[in-house]
């Protein structure tokens, strides 16, 4: 039953995201417009959620407490990432978010920090410099 409930919730969120994204506009850039990518993600999530609704696990096992704690912590890290993106800027918030996620998945602190730093800086360079998509660098520090 839990699979169907989760599937229904994900489907409703996906349908809402698809609906909201249709209004995205930009005066420049991609000829398809900025709505295409969020609509593609929302559409894929909606299709996958239908799988949970129509073909749930026949014998679901309850999550262990450590697994459930990691899942809740992962959602908290992702929510924190979204909240810190503008104040701290893309590179720092992405570094912190990636490092925390790496720790949750069992990485050692040094490797998690190095991975976070590599991901944060390389994604900033790719998006800002290579693709020309302006991202906030560090508004709280320099603004």
Residues 27 and 50 in one domain: yes
Grade residue 140 by pLDDT with cuts at 50, 70 and 90: low
| One domain, residues 81 and 114 | yes
The pLDDT tens digits of the residues spanning 94-137 come to: 999 999 999 999 999 999 999 999 999 999 988 888 877 777 78
Structure confidence by residue, pLDDT tens digits, 26-43? 655 556 666 777 888 899
**Which range marks the domain in which residue 49 is found?**
1-61
**Which of 61, 78, 104 is the C-terminal boundary of a domain?**
61
4 lies in the same domain as 41: yes
**Do 71 and 56 fall within a single domain?**
no
How many distinct structural domains can be found in the chain?
2
Residues 25, 4 share a domain: yes
Report CA-CA distances (Å) from 45 to 9, 18, 23, 104. 11, 10, 19, 24
Per-residue pLDDT at 37: 78
Domain shared by 52 and 119, yes or no: no
Looking at residue 27, what is its pLDDT? 59
Give whole-number Cα distances, 85 to 30, 41, 78, 122, 128, in Å: 24, 21, 11, 16, 15
Are 68 and 4 in a shared domain? Answer: no
d(CA 81, CA 83): 5
Tell me what pLDDT residue 58 has. 79
Same structural domain for residues 97 and 52?
Answer: no
């Amino acid at each position: 039953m839990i699979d169907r409930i989760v599937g229904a919730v994900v489907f409703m969120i996906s349908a809402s995201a698809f609906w909201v994204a249709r209004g995205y506009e930009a005066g420049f850039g991609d000829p398809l417009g900025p709505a295409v990518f969020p609509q593609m993600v929302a559409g894929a999530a909606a299709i996958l959620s239908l799988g949970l609704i129509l073909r749930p696990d026949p014998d679901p096992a309850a999550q262990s407490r450590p697994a459930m704690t990691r899942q809740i912590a992962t959602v908290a890290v992702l929510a924190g990432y979204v909240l810190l993106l503008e104040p701290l800027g893309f590179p720092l918030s992405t570094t912190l978010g990636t490092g925390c996620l790496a720790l949750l998945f069992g990485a050692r602190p040094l490797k998690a920090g190095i991975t976070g730093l590599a991901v944060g800086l390389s994604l900033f360079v790719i998006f800002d410099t290579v693709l020309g998509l302006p991202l906030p660098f560090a508004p709280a520090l320099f603004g």
